[in-house]
Structure 1
Amino acid sequence: MADSDSDRDGEGGQPMPPAEPAEPPEQPSCLVPELLCEYLKIPKSPTEVTLMLKVRAVAQATEDRRAPITICAVIDRSGSMKKHLPLLKETLQFMVQQLRSSDKLGVVTFDHEVKTELPLTAMTTSGKLLAERAIDGVKERGHTNLSGGLLAALEALYRIPENEASQVESVLLFTDGKANVGIKAQAPLVKATSSMLDQIGRQANVFTFGYGGEHDADLLRAVSEAGHGLFYYIDNADSIPESFCDCLGGLLSVSAQNVRLLFRAAERMKLHKPLTTYSTTEMEQHTEYQVTIPDIYCEEEKCILVKVTTPGRDSMSESENLALSSCTVTYFDVLNSCPVQHRVECSVVLNPAISCPVTSDCVDDVEQHRLRCEVAEALGKANKMADSGNFAGARGLLQGTVKRVRGSRVSRQVLAVHLLETLQESLEGIQDKVTFAQHGKAVILSYAGSHWQQRSNTKPSQEGYVRRRTEMAPTGLLSAKSAASSAPSSTNSYSPYRNSHKTTLLSHYAATKK
């Protein structure tokens, strides 16, 4: 049926102007911040309260929305890596297949020499063939020039023209030994790493993977911290794909970068330094602090605790709302390619009729993360005590922390149970000098980093995991059936910090082995 004139023409018989294109729907912000107070009501006397900024990454990364990534794999090819190389090469080949044409991959190997096996190359069909050949050709030999390999990879990132740089750039360093060629000491290597990252001038991360009991866990942890990444401890060959897929899954799901949290105390409030290992700057004494988080993965949660002291009131007859603090959250939304800013505030009821604080509904959440920070601090202190030979003191410290977590009202919550599991495994690693050197130090350092960053990086062996959970059953935290049936697998990790993208990648890897 033909259109009528009235359908085709406007007033006076003139053609209708074309319709304005519809505005595209506004994309929701990828981060949702919330500033919580541990108390619902406080007395009029001076009171110290704990606030918690919770930042949740609500968006999920999909293949069509994720940011392009650049990865430079740095592989220790020294003689001692012979037993690890086959499975490492296999997982690297798996990584190649997960990358798309907009991604880049480079491969650097090191023994007593450093060699670029594959310059940074776009992962097109032909690029993937080059990558597979380069990885397959890696053979073991020589000594361990760790610094040379690391700095060569960072230099490769530095040489990328600004207009060709990826949104996500990372170096993945794999080694099983101690540096015995090049820069061997921790402090100068960390300084060199930080200097190179500063010269790159973009967001770039360094992740380190330590194999077995002979690597320098302190050095690898320090390098990863300088590179805003994580240290992964790989205690056996089966852990290689688990750890690698965990890391890659995170890089493929970056949601936000350069996240800055600016805490400001309300009038007359005293703000204390936030409890975190992320870079923190005091902008104005007891009034303003800035915390910088390099990146946040999809579905991740970052919880930063900060204490505020109220000045108290001399005279008041009725309850009133008391402003405590605000926090301005700014970041670059990677999924929507735009800068974003949020501002959240927190207040509490000042009640002259009470003499002690009244807890709020969110106090359990705050308490869980207070315990998380306490456990992370205890692990760091225990490592230093064990380093000095005080194994009894280190065990006593961790045992005391276990008691406090078990005695907490949140001891049955998922995070608290995970904290207990990591403490139990850490205790097993500080029985004596030998177990600490071969296993304990790496476990403690990896768990400490994981808890501070709220990011998964280590999974215990299947047998050890079941045994520890079975031991916990008599405490009432877990049933014996639950303890025996909930061991981790390649598709179901126990870590509360792991996002679904990491789990999916592990499932894909497992499927390739069937």
Structure 2
Amino acid sequence: MEGTKQTNPCAICLGGMGAGGGQAIFTAECSHTFHFHCISASVEHGNLLCPLCNAQWRELPFVRPPASMPTSQPPSVDAVQPRRVRAHSEDPVVFDDDEQVGPPDSRRQAGAASDEAVVVKTHGHYSAVARDSSDDNFAVLVHLKAPGIAGSGTEAAGDAPAQRAPVDLVTVLDVSRSMHGSKLALLKQAMRFVIDILGPDDRLSVVSFSSRARRVTRLTRMSDAGKALCVRAVESLTARTGTNIAEGLRTAAKVLDERRYRNGVSSVVLLTDGQDNYTPTRQAFGRGLPNYAALVPPSFARTGTSTGDRATPVHTFGFGNDHDAAAMHAVSEATGGTFSFIENEAVIQDAFAQCVGGLLSVVVQEARIAVQCLDPGVRIGSVKSGLYESSVDEDGRAALIVVGELYADEERRFLLFLVVPRAEATDGDLTALIKVSCLYRDAAAGADVNVMAEDMVVARPEHAVDAERSVEVERERVRVEATEDMAAARAAAERGEHQEAVEILESRRGAVAQSDAARGGDPMIVALEIELRDMRRRVSSRQNYARSGRAYMLAGMSAHMQQRGCSSQLQLPSVIAFQDGAVTTTAATHQVSQQAATLPYATPAMLAMLLRSRRAREASAAGAQRQPGAPEGAQGSEPTVPKELN
């Protein structure tokens, strides 16, 4: 049988497929053709989709055993036979072997039924609008703050148990060849810490991936025996060839989708230092934008509806300068997770600690904010909600914001821009603007809760020259405008317009520095100015942007657009400690010397877990130094951590 005449190259190797080339050709059921050895190698690694059209194949290439094939000449087309192939794995076909969840904790249920609830407040940009004036862009801030829980502060840094919802956590770990040596040792150290901080009602499954993915442990309760099992499993990890991120995520989805039991909170943590070289995220022959959706399992993707359905967030960690930051950011954004850039390998454990500290303090789920206009002439023009889904009714009389999960003490701020009409002669001294409510599910008790804010009103005097301006609204406007300029600068850098990106960031940094919030020493705004200065440096050239600028900017945008702490901001504080029962930080970077600052968006539980991690690292390093005759750089010792990160 002669090879089929082809005018297009093989989409995998880009080599010719003309007749007489001496290579077998495989024609898929979707009619695309490839060199047989190219596509069979891809299928061998578990890729069952067409690299060109992403069609799901039912008939896959199969090679007869070598014994039946001549060894002196290349395989003929006759050797290519379609065959239904079952995914090769040492794991069970269905991951329904998860360990049973613990019995309900009466203390947790009682604690969840307390009087504490989400606090909802509103702030108008100005306290008054003149009666004979209208305002088509009147800003109103809607502010949420989640309740705290026992153990979210100082206890979280120690051993006291927190009254919280238990977690099902899947860690998806890159064990490709580039992770060998100190990187893998630090990853194992970080995982030992994560295992240690999980409670007996939490469950953990470890998934590793290189050229293929493997479920290392089933979803296991973190009893003493379960922790010992997971530690042994983590210690068994070895570096191998290939980086198949998509299969790692598919395996994690399989673990969660097929479990028999469920804890109240579910999440996935993904760490990689490379780029997926098995999943076709690029369009054919390099044309068009990457299709990172191919990396996200369907069950992980947010539905984009306001029904309150819970998706599983994937919190991604890009490690070093060679990972695909755009892919990691896309995965986290599609699932409602965060993207963190770990530039220094010594802080892998701290990065995991901050993230897991938040996951172990989820108090609110499926939160939704409903806004209703009160005065007949008031309309909602727009909503600034970052990555949170929002909608405004066609008549502008109502709006909805889908918030989702909140950690203990976590806050969210959203700006609404209203149309405020002139006051009629028959109107009183006040105009009622909006009514705001928040409906959510208590994560520990599983009960629905609805809270209302006081009606937002504005005074309508004859003259409003001396109307008081809200500091809260101004602060949020500074943050939102800075976030929008970060996105604009990133777009310019992606086009290769690095000078334009620098100018955007410098202009915004100057505006932030001159804001009333910055002059008043607002910790968030002070940290924001530092971040903009650092971004400006990282986008200044093609080399800087490729090395770290893209990842740093995407991580910053992820944090600001979700108002949730990410590990890329770990470099901001130099000192973190407890003072009067609260976590405090001090910044000593750039021109901000010994000025109080905070890790943006970090909650007390996240900061407390970060402190616990740093104490553990210090104890580990001190123990290694006390070991007699321990060679420098021996396995298990810790790399030197820059002073500003300690």
Asked if the contact 1:447/1:458 (under 8 Å) is kept, the reply is no
Corresponding position of 1:43: 130
Task: Map 1:46-195; keep pairs closer than 5 Å.
Answer: 46-47=134-135, 48-62=137-151, 63-82=161-180, 83-161=182-260, 164-185=261-282, 188-190=291-293, 193=296, 195=298
Matched AA of 2:144: V
Asked if the contact 2:329/2:339 (under 8 Å) is kept, the reply is yes
Worse overlay, 117-126 or 45-54 = 117-126
Quickly say closer, same or farther: Cα 1:463–1:381, change in 2 above 3 A: closer
1-structure distance, mates of 2:589, 2:440: 43
Instruction: Compare the two structures and name the one with the higher helix fraction.
Output: 1
Corresponding position of 1:18: none
Q: CA deviation at 1:460?
A: 5.2
Asked if the contact 1:101/1:122 (under 8 Å) is kept, the reply is yes
SS of residue matched to 2:250: helix
1:440 aligned to 545, 549, 552, which one?
Answer: 549
Corresponding position of 2:431: 322
Instruction: Check if 1:279 corresponds to 2:378.
Output: no
SS of residue matched to 1:405: helix
Instruction: Check if 1:343 corresponds to 2:452.
Output: yes
Q: CA deviation at 1:101?
A: 2.4
Instruction: Check if 1:392 corresponds to 2:490.
Output: no
1-structure distance, mates of 2:275, 2:524: 34
Asked if the contact 2:314/2:335 (under 8 Å) is kept, the reply is yes
Corresponding position of 1:298: 408
Q: Deviations over 1:104-129 (max 9, x none)?
A: 11111111111111121121222112
Corresponding position of 1:366: 473
Corresponding position of 2:368: 260
Corresponding position of 1:237: 345
1-structure distance, mates of 2:403, 2:150: 19
Matched AA of 1:359: E
Asked if the contact 2:127/2:468 (under 8 Å) is kept, the reply is yes
Quickly say closer, same or farther: Cα 1:207–1:407, change in 2 above 3 A: same
Q: CA deviation at 1:58?
A: 2.8
TM-score, normalised to structure 1, is 0.86
Q: Deviations over 1:427-473 (max 9, x none)?
A: 1111101110111111111111111222111345759989x95643x
SS of residue matched to 1:510: helix
Corresponding position of 1:512: 616
Matched AA of 1:306: L
Instruction: Check if 1:377 corresponds to 2:484.
Output: yes
Q: CA deviation at 1:496?
A: 3.6
Corresponding position of 2:120: 33
Q: CA deviation at 1:286?
A: 1.6
The structure with the larger Rg is 2
Q: Deviations over 1:338-391 (max 9, x none)?
A: 21001222110112233x57124xx11111111111111111111111010001
Asked if the contact 1:81/1:140 (under 8 Å) is kept, the reply is yes
Q: CA deviation at 1:180?
A: 0.7
Q: Deviations over 1:122-156 (max 9, x none)?
A: 21222112211111111111111111101110121
Q: CA deviation at 1:239?
A: 2.2
Quickly say closer, same or farther: Cα 1:242–1:158, change in 2 above 3 A: same
Asked if the contact 2:281/2:290 (under 8 Å) is kept, the reply is no
Quickly say closer, same or farther: Cα 1:390–1:357, change in 2 above 3 A: farther
Asked if the contact 1:42/1:357 (under 8 Å) is kept, the reply is no
Worse overlay, 60-69 or 197-206 = 197-206
Q: CA deviation at 1:194?
A: 6.2
Count residues in correspondence: 469
Corresponding position of 2:527: 418
Matched AA of 2:293: V
2-structure distance, mates of 1:190, 1:155: 17
1-structure distance, mates of 2:142, 2:466: 20
Quickly say closer, same or farther: Cα 1:273–1:505, change in 2 above 3 A: same
SS of residue matched to 1:281: strand
Q: CA deviation at 1:495?
A: 0.7
Corresponding position of 2:601: 497
Asked if the contact 1:61/1:255 (under 8 Å) is kept, the reply is no
Q: CA deviation at 1:179?
A: 1.0
Instruction: Note the residue ranges of structure 1 that are not aligned, 5 or more in a row.
Output: 1-23, 473-477, 487-492
Worse overlay, 167-176 or 53-62 = 53-62
Instruction: Note the residue ranges of structure 2 that are not aligned, 5 or more in a row.
Output: 1-109, 152-160, 283-288, 304-308, 576-586, 620-646
Matched AA of 1:441: R
Q: CA deviation at 1:253?
A: 0.7
2-structure distance, mates of 1:182, 1:398: 35
Corresponding position of 1:10: none
SS of residue matched to 2:300: helix
Instruction: Check if 1:307 corresponds to 2:417.
Output: yes
SS of residue matched to 1:258: strand
Q: Deviations over 1:395-452 (max 9, x none)?
A: 1111111111111111121111011011111111111011101111111111111112
2:561 aligned to 431, 452, 458, which one?
Answer: 452
SS of residue matched to 2:348: helix
Q: CA deviation at 1:263?
A: 1.4
Asked if the contact 1:61/1:253 (under 8 Å) is kept, the reply is no
TM-score, normalised to structure 2, is 0.69
1-structure distance, mates of 2:243, 2:295: 17
2-structure distance, mates of 1:296, 1:371: 23
2-structure distance, mates of 1:61, 1:380: 38
Corresponding position of 1:20: none
1-structure distance, mates of 2:290, 2:544: 26
Q: CA deviation at 1:191?
A: 5.9
2-structure distance, mates of 1:375, 1:168: 32
Corresponding position of 1:211: 319
Q: CA deviation at 1:498?
A: 1.2
